[in-house]
Structure 1
Amino acid sequence: MQGTIDGFSYGLVTPVVAYLMACLGGALGLRCTTRALLVENSWRRGWLALGSAAIGSGIWTMHFVAMMGFAVEGVPVRYDAPITFASLGVAVVMVGIGIFIVGHRGATVMALFTGGTITGLGVASMHYLGMAGMRLQGTLRYDTFTVSLSVLIAVVAATAALWAAVQVRGFLWSLGASLVMGLAVTGMHYTGMAALDVHLHGAGGGPAGDPAAELLAPMLIGPLAFLVLAGVVVMCDPQMAVGADRQRAEQSVRPGLALVPRPGIPAHGPGSDAARGRPPHRRRTFVSAPPRGPRSRLDR
């Protein structure tokens, strides 16, 4: 017997809050990615790790906020705690791999393609692993085409968000990228839910696991607290001011331009006046006269 699925049992409250959570995690994570491009490797890894955890937490929070509005008519829905926690770890690790690739390789085509693909697959893996932790008196079945479409949405939108993040054009640019990332997560989620059918079993004992409200509500406190902490770290960083490092970021991606002199290498060439301690040599400017035509008799 087919079960009647209701993904909006609380109306538009859960979709809107879920989208905002995805945007919050995306905004913090992508700003951390932008910040990582402006520092040396020792600090870059820390910013990328913080960004990965922020995006992963935002994705996971978005999914289970949306799942708070999921219900099957007449059937209690419970969740397996270990699998639910494992989906959070998968999201953070796979998103982290994609972000680290883009953070270290830059905005090359191959880096964006690889990083965006892994990040999108991380979003999809978290979703379907979280769904695998759902317990009810029935069997979950998915439409293959719709599942493939949901994965494609996640990959394309995640790639676009990473591309926008590495452009380093200020706060508004990163905000737009976070909106795209939020669209990737929520669009993938509800597309994946549209692929779901529930085939109910006969009467029997209740499903094993914890009730949705009793399990999900306490579990959301930790990721939400982490997102708040990550937001404080980002806002307290003076280099994250709007446009503060725009010129430096643009120069850092141009070949042949060094922002900071390397140890042991003078800022100017070894044969320059500055290296010899002399004042800069002034070059004379000569203005060439216009070409003269044939001389007349008066000139002679």
Structure 2
Amino acid sequence: MPVGLLLLFVLPALVPARAPRPARLDVPGALLVTTGTAALIYGLVEAGDAGWADASTLLPLAGAAVAYAAFAAVERAGRAPLMDLRMFTRRPVLAGAFLMLIATALLIAFFFLGSVYLQHIRGFSPLRTGLVFLPVAVATGIGAHLGSRLVGRIGSRPTAVAGLAVAAAGAVPPTRLSETGSVYAGLLPGFVIASLGIGAVFVTATTTALAMVEHRVAGLASGVVNTFHEVGGSIGVAVVSTVAAAGFERGSAGGFGDAFTVCAATAAAGAVLSLGLVPRGKPRPAGGPHVH
């Protein structure tokens, strides 16, 4: 918040306005979409703690649906809407949002499940747990680098499908987690393989959404994709924590194996859906690299 407030005052003095007259800010639309997104994320987080049938989950999710419906009505009726809803009819933006949703849900779910498993089942300290995840972070960066090259050479669709297929393969070994055995042989290799694929999907998502649309709507497309990034992380944690709840309570690894099975199935389904959703062709350069 302090950084945002600082930018709010500094930007008007440093960035010249291109329009002859300042554009009107769609305050009702901004409030509705922000409230709806906040309620959605809060409801998803509560689902992981209280369950999907609890009032603390259902009420925020219902409120989010109402806020989004009101937002759509306001945007259709407004003369200076915050968002052109026709953006969601653009296939590159939809594909980028979908890929970002899946990739973020998988990555955050892996980190969440891995952290809980290592600390509560295997007795690792927070510091040791963080050190175990260092190779995963490196692999994600390597995957993003490889993905940026592959997108330019073979196109978005093959890169997205291959990345999600690799993520699905990496999620298979952790489905056999137990209370004993080597963490570095049973957990870490799968995480590293999965993160390679997820890193490539991140780059494919942003590149597809931004480089395949006109420059004038690139900012809006970026906002859509980043919103799905935040929602994806919340969905990932909510779903896997619900599936693995039995393991949390009993201190056993069985629930974690079930949760990783869900991750593997989600990645595989995402790869299949990408065959029809992600556009063919290679994204054209758009004045600079797009990174996550």
Normalised to the residue count of structure 1, the TM-score between the two structures is: 0.29
Q: Point out the structure with max Rg over C-alpha.
A: 1
Higher relative contact order (Cα pairs below 8 Å, separated by 6+ residues): 2
| Structure with more helix by fraction | 2
Which protein has the bigger strand share? 1
TM-score normalised by length of structure 2: 0.29
